[in-house]
A = this chain, B = another copy of it.
C-alpha cells in the first residue's frame, strides 16, 4: 500500500476529531440566562460581521474569478483556466474553516466561564477544545483541499489558484478583522473608560459587545485564515518545486523524474503526520486535570514538536530515501520555536525590555514611545537571523525544495499551535462574560488566570505567524524563480541579477509597500475608531445609559458600525496588495517583479516584527504598572504607558498581522499572473 494514503486519512481524521471536540464543547452548560444572553449577543455580532464580510467577499471572488478566466483566455498568456476553479475552492475552504472556528469560539466563551465554576482545568479544557476545532479544521481542510485540486488537475501550478483563494480570505479576515477589532476596542475604551469613567467590559457601554466580537474576528478568524494560507502555500510551494525537479535534484540519488514523484507527496505526508502529532498534543490539554495552565499548553506543543521530529525523520527516509530534507524540516521547526521565544522575551512583563519601557514612564509618555519603538526595532535581530540560518541550512541540504520543506516543517504542528492561539480570545471572552454577568470574584480570578496565559501564548503565536509567513514567502520566491524559468523555456532567460536596475527598482518599491500598507491600515483604524467614539457618545447621551440601569444600550448598532467601517476601510490596502505585483510586473518585467517580492518580504517581515513586538511590549509595560509597580494604576507612569498601549494597539493587532498577508499575497498573485506577465514582456 502506498504511504500517500496517509494524506486523505490525516485530513479526514482531523475533521472527525474537530467534530468530536465540537460536540463535546456544545454539550457543556452555557450557564445562567445572563451569560447565555451575553454569549448570544457576541455570537450574533460575530455572525453579522461574517455575513456582511461574505457579501463583499462574494463580489470580490466573482470579480477575481472573472479576471482569472479572462486572463487565461488571452492568447499567449498560458494561464490555465483551472486557476479560477482552484481559486474558488481555496476561498471556500478557508472561509468554511474560519466560519466553523468562529462558531465554536463564540459558543465556548460562556461555557468556559461556567466550566471554571467546577475547576480551572475544566475551563481550560473547554476553551482549548474550541481552539482545537479551529486548528483541526484548518489543517484538515487545508490538506484535503490541496489534495483534491492536485488529483483533479494533476498539475501543481494550478494550486497557486487555491493559494490565491486562501490568501483572499486571509486578506479580508486579517485586514478587515484587524480594523474591526481595534476600532471597537479603542472606541469602547476612549469613551467608556476615559470619558465616562466606567470599568472595562461594563455592560452599560454600547461598544462592549463589539469589543468582544472583535477579539474573535481578529484573533480567531484572522489568525486562522492567516495560518491556513501559510500552511497551504508552503505545501504548494514544495509540490511545485518537486515537480520542476531540477530544483531538488541535487539532494537525491534518484533521477529527477523518480525524485519528483516521491517528493510531490512528501509535504502532504509530513503535514498529515503533523496532524496526528497535533491530535496527541491536543489531548494533553483537553483531557488534562492539572492546575498549571501555561505548563499544559507548553507540554502539548513540546510533545507535538517532539513527535513530529521523530516521525519526520523516519518518514523522510522512508519516502525520499535520504535524510537531507528532514534536516531542512528540522531547521524550520527550530526557527519557529526560536522566533516564538524571542517574541516572548521582548514582550513579556517579566523580562528586561518591558521593564525598561515601564521605567521610561518616569520621564513621561514621549520616552515610553521612544523606548517601545527601540525595543521593536532591536527585536528584529533574532527572527531575521533565525529565518536566514534556517533558509541557508535548508538550502544547503536540499536546495530550494529544502527551503519549502522547512516552511512545511515549521507549520506541521499547526493543528495544536493554532489551538493555543485561538484559545486566547475564548478565554478573554469568558473573562469578559464573567465580569459582565457578575459571577463573583472566585470565578473571575480563575477566568483571569486563563486570560493571562492567553496573552502570553498570543504573543508567541504572533511571532510564529510572522516567522512562518516569512519563510513561506521565501519558499514562494524560489518557486517564482523556478516557475518563471520554466515558463520562459529555453528561448528566453531570466536574469535576476542585482546589476539589473529594474530588479533593484523592484526591491526599492517592494520595500516601500509595507510602509505604505502600514500607514493605510493604521489610518483605517483611526477613522473607524472615530466613528465608534461618536456612536458611543451618542448612545450614552440619547439613551441616558449612565442615568438608569433600565436604559439598555443598542449593542447591534455598534457591531454594525465596526463591521461597515472595517469592510469599507480595507478596500484601499487590499487593492494595493493585489494590484501592485501585477502592475509592477507588467512595467518592470519578471525581473523587476522578482525584486519587488524580495524587497517586500524583507521590509514587510521587519516591519511586522517591529510593529508586533513594540505593540506587545507597550501592552505589557502597562500591565506591569497596573500590577502595582512604579506607582500602579492611576499614577502618571500608568497614564504614560496607557498612551504607549494606545499607539501599540493598531501596531500589534492590525498593521503588524496584516503585513503577513501582504507578503504572502503578493507572492501568490505574482505566481498566478506570471505567465501573463512573461507573455507581455
What's the number of copies of this chain in the assembled complex? Answer: 2
Binding stretch for chain B, among A163-171, A438-446, A594-602? A594-602
User: A509: which B residues are within 8 A, CB to CB?
Assistant: 384-385, 388
Is A365 among interface residues, defined by CB-CB distance under 8 A?
A: yes
Asked if A497 lies at the interface with its beta carbon under 8 angstroms from chain B, I say yes
CA distance A518 to B366 in the complex (A): 17
Candidate in A478, A481, A504 with the most chain B CB atoms within 10 angstroms: A504
Q: In the bound complex, how far is the Cα of B364 from the Cα of A549, in angstroms?
A: 31
Provide the bound-state CA to CA distance between A515 and B613, in Å.
Answer: 13
Would you call A505 an interface residue if the criterion is a C-beta within 8 Å of the partner chain's C-beta atoms? Answer: yes
Closest residue of B by beta carbon distance from A478: B499
Query: Would you call B365 and A365 a contact (CB within 8 A)?
Result: yes
A507 and B598 within 8 A (CB): yes
Q: Does A387 sit within 8 A of B, measured CB to CB?
A: yes
User: Complex Cα distance A391/B509, Å?
Assistant: 13
Interface flags for A509-520 (1: CB within 8 Å of B; 0: not) read: 101100110110
Q: Smallest CB-CB separation from A605: which chain B residue?
A: B508
Query: Whole-angstrom distance between the alpha carbons of A506 and B391 in the complex?
Result: 12
Chain B residue contacts of A371, Cβ below 8 A: 526
Cβ–Cβ < 8 Å partners of A369 in chain B: 369, 643, 647
Q: Are B508 and A481 in contact (CB under 8 A)?
A: no
Establish whether residues B602 and A516, one from each chain, have CB atoms under 8 Å apart when the complex forms: no
- Cβ 8 A contact of A519, one of B367, B378, B391: B378
Q: A363 interface residue, CB < 8 Å from B?
A: yes
**A462 adjacent to chain B (CB < 8 Å):** no
A505 to B377, Cβ gap below 8 A? no
CA distance A595 to B602 in the complex (A): 11
Q: Nearest Cβ distance between residue A657 and chain B, in whole angstroms?
A: 17
Closest chain-B Cβ to A226's Cβ sits at a distance in Å of 21
Check A464 for interface membership: any CB of B closer than 8 A.
no
Let me know if A410 is at the binding interface, CB within 8 A. Answer: no
Query: In the complex, A370→B508 CA distance in Å?
Result: 24
Neighbour of A498 across the interface among B380, B501, B595, CB < 8 A: B595
CB <8 Å contact, A391 and B501: yes
Say yes or no: A370 contacts B650, CB within 8 Å: yes
In the complex, what residues of B have CB within 8 A of residue A504's CB? 391, 474, 477, 598
Q: How far is the CA of A511 from the CA of B599 in the complex (A)?
A: 9
CA distance A523 to B190 in the complex (A): 31
Q: Complex formed: what's the CA distance from A44 to B123 in Å?
A: 71
Decide: B526 and A380 in contact? CB cutoff 8 A: no
Instruction: Establish whether residues A512 and B381, one from each chain, have CB atoms under 8 Å apart when the complex forms.
Output: yes
> What is the minimal beta-carbon distance from A534 to any residue of chain B, in angstroms?
12
A323 interfacial by beta-carbon distance below 8 Å: no
Of the residues B366, B387, B518, B530, contact of A647 by C-beta under 8 Å: B366
Task: From the candidates B365, B388, B481, B512, name the one contacting A606 in the complex (CB within 8 A).
Answer: B512
- Residue in chain B with minimal CB distance to A485: B499
The verdict on A610 contacting chain B, using a C-beta distance below 8 Å, is: yes
Choice from B370, B496, B533 contacting A499 with Cβ under 8 Å: B496
In A237-294, the 8 Å CB interface with B consists of none
List chain B residues, Cβ under 8 A from A360.
526
> Does A502 interact with chain B (Cβ within 8 Å)?
yes
B507 near A374: Cβ-Cβ < 8 Å = no
Cβ B647 vs Cβ A501 within 8 A: no
Inter-chain CA distance A650–B598, complex, in Å, is 30
A527 to chain B, nearest CB (A): 11
Set of chain B residues within 8 Å of A391, measured between Cβ atoms? 501, 504-505
- 14 A-B pairs (CB sep. < 8 Å): A363-B533, A370-B522, A370-B650, A373-B647, A377-B518, A384-B509, A391-B504, A496-B499, A497-B497, A498-B594, A507-B599, A508-B602, A511-B606, A599-B602
* A364-B643, A495-B497 known, 14 other contacts, Cβ within 8 Å: A360-B526, A370-B526, A373-B522, A375-B519, A381-B516, A391-B504, A400-B499, A403-B501, A477-B498, A496-B497, A498-B598, A508-B605, A511-B606, A602-B602
